[in-house]
Structure 1
């Protein structure tokens, strides 16, 4: 801003003072210095004016007939937080200026008779500070929006450490196409912490990040480099396993279930126990469909919940081929693994 120019002003300066001579004098001096100025004699009229035409700066007398200046200052702070400076006008030269400022919670104090240069400089300073505050808030909002956009485009989810499903959607589509074309097996796992909503209510944000860090560590350590572990909808974890028949996927699923059951809770929640249910589906036919696999594994998770959780559920409909070997008698592979 060039020296001598005024800050951009939309509403001007509002003077609130019941003593008309003093108010008119201050208004005249400010207008002579090219500040747009309006005057209200009582607090009620000032509030009504501010509601319809916000000011850039409020100058309020120390005493008003209808309201305490502190009420006006509080109204200005609540409705225009950080944007409209409040300047307290003192008539008595013996009044403690700092004490009066603190009582009203004003931004600054000015005494009657202050020289034009000092009054102008103080008004400019308050207006420029307010403009900088507005710019800072806008920059913070833009920065927040940029961080959110960056996080949305990130491959990793910052809260859980898992890959984002959206970032790998095209990779999954290619794996499905290759499996259909060349006839190699492909399986998926869909897992979820049991009682996830109840557990979420116990965890603080940092504890939640610690839990998901442990979950991510155990899942990724149980799978191969070519397998992909992703954060799916509703905080479910999806594992895509190319070149993996259903039998191999079942083994991995039970390994993950066992490792999650061994996870230690945060120190402050030692009584909390973690278990997870894992649903498995796979196929190696030209009818392979990712949508069908997800549909089946979601059905498997519902079955796991009905069984009380901490189980592996294998979706019978997606066995490798129509002539695939049937599941063992009773549909149970191990103590916590079931076919549906």
Structure 2
């Protein structure tokens, strides 16, 4: 897949070697010979993944990675450290500062390319989420990137799928001080447990007795309910083919035996952070979508939502020959509430009015604030007489109990007028039904308010 790789190394031959290999695999390559230049390139959004040397003058690779992962602008960038350092302490330090992987030179070309492709795929998903989530700032719900970057990767819910007691006991012992860890020894039950619970991470032993661990990984990654769960596989060092295959099908990370306790903790933390980063972005996108179609004061749908859904419901009812009713409700003398008691009191009345309307309608009904003190209710599969019954129930519910204002220190008697109309066979569009309901509302106002009037069939 097309992607731009940033190669960072202060030794020119090393840069050219990696550039040649990556270009041969159809990646675009940009280069930097020092830490500050690398950070600047990343901040400008000019790369998709960073291959980073550790030993550089000035700012070393560890510090570059730490800065990238600490910044909301660049925290989503995958970083792979490629270095001659080969001590476990070096690998752990790289993972601790946020690196997604730590590869020791000389690097196996096949393994490097598999890792790069895997991380590029993950980043492409994150990029789409980031773009959508950034739009949520326009709705005043905060900076989603700042919140996502603050994630610590601790206190995760983890499932270990491993039928070897000696193996899963060591894994559980290492992770339990930081996370809530469960073990499943029967791989046939593992997928069911993952779909039923909300795990942040699943660790799968590829060497399950009589069962293909890669198949379980693939199923977790493909099901709608579990596709966002992070997956970490554990394999034997010589099982290179299956490790590469796992990365190809979407497994997020791997460890080879013997498993280093500290590296396990660090890799789990990294994957949990990345998983929750994506969750925060998805939550931000969902919140912005809800705000786009929700009235901020009442919590009902807004006019934009009503316009699109009324037409869709009308078209479906017309096509299937089904009933459809529309109610237009208006609080009586609402202007006097604002003039006498203030706009804060008016807002309290509208919120309570919306609550009572919603409580007396069905889940399939569309209830939307039409503007000002007007609410429109669209009722699928409901004839005119059924619409009248619901309207009368709402009218009574509004009239029967005074509305609290000024934070409950006072109450007001409030009434509502309601116009009702139903789809007719000769109606050409939803606007005709809405217009008749609005005209019926006008008659209810003219006839003395606090009443329900149905449009003539």
Q: Taking structure 2 as the reference length, what is the TM-score of the superposition?
A: 0.37
Q: Taking structure 1 as the reference length, what is the TM-score of the superposition?
A: 0.47
The higher radius of gyration belongs to 1
